Structure formats: C-alpha cells, structure tokens
C-alpha cells in the first residue's frame, strides 16, 4: 500500500506525455476543481480522470477483482470510491466542465495506448460533454 500514489502514477504519465507530444497544454491535479481531475485542459473546458481498474472498480475487467482476504473491507472501500467518483463527476459537469474517464487497461499495450490517445484527442476537440474510454481490446 505504501507504493500507491495519489498523483503522478505511471498510467497518468502515459496519458500526459502523449497529450503533451501532440501539442496539448494542461494543468494537473487542479485543487480548486471537484475531485481534483488528473488532467485539466482549460482551453477546451475539459477534464480527464485516469482511473486504475482495481481502485475505481472497472466493470468486467480482470484487473478489477477484489481480494478474497478481507473482502468486506475492500468491497466497502471500492463502493465509497465509486460513490465519490460519481459525485465529483456530476459536480464538474454541473459547473460546465466536460469530463472523460480513461481506464488503466486501455493503456497497457502500445497499440491500445495510441488508439486510446487518438480517441481522447477526438473527444477533447469535440463538443461531447462526457466520455469513457473502456479497455483497449
């Protein structure tokens, strides 16, 4: 548990590095916004959350399975995370921000990473209010 970081995770760095290479400029972990989005693109009024499949309970993902030891604890922890995520996303949307969620499993393989970044780039420049990038399969 001590090696788990709240920000600047490997999966966040993958997304940020690729967006920066494509010319996007952003702020990270903006404290004044609900949920402190991982990436904020003020020019596009867009926010991006990069979710780990385990911690945020990605449905139907093999990385999302709960441990059998102390199952009730982990189930409650994940439930609280899911409720908080939904609440913060609703607050962002209510204040006029567009919200995208990128899942960890969509960033694992180089091909799926590039496809995910392409999809994310299309969303950033679109008018869509929200978007979720599922696994990279």
Instruction: Please give the pLDDT value at position 8.
Output: 81
Q: Look at the block and give the residue holding tokens 């999966």.
A: 11
Instruction: Please give the pLDDT value at position 34.
Output: 96
Q: What is the pTM of this model?
A: 0.90
Low-confidence ranges of the chain (pLDDT < 70): 1-6, 135-137
Beta bridge partners of 41: 46
Which domains are seen in the chain, by residue range?
10-133 (3.40.960.10)
Instruction: Please give the pLDDT value at position 136.
Output: 43
Give tens-digit pLDDT for 93-116: 999 999 999 999 999 899 999 999
- Answer whether 124's CB lies under 8 Å from 41's CB: yes
């Amino acid at each position: 548990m001590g090696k788990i970081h709240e920000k600047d995770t490997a999966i966040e760095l993958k997304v940020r590095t690729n967006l920066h290479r494509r010319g996007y400029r952003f702020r990270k972990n903006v404290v004044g916004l609900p949920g402190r989005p991982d990436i904020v693109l003020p020019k596009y009024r867009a926010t991006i959350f990069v979710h780990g499949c385990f911690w945020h309970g990605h449905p139907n993902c093999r990385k999302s399975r709960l441990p059998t030891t102390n199952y009730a604890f982990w189930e409650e922890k994940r439930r609280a995370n899911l409720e908080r995520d939904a609440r913060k996303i609703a607050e962002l949307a209510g204040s006029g921000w567009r919200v995208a969620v990128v899942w960890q499993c969509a960033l694992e393989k180089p091909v799926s990473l590039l496809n995910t970044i392409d999809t994310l780039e299309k969303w950033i420049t679109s008018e869509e209010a929200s978007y979720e990038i599922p696994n990279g399969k």
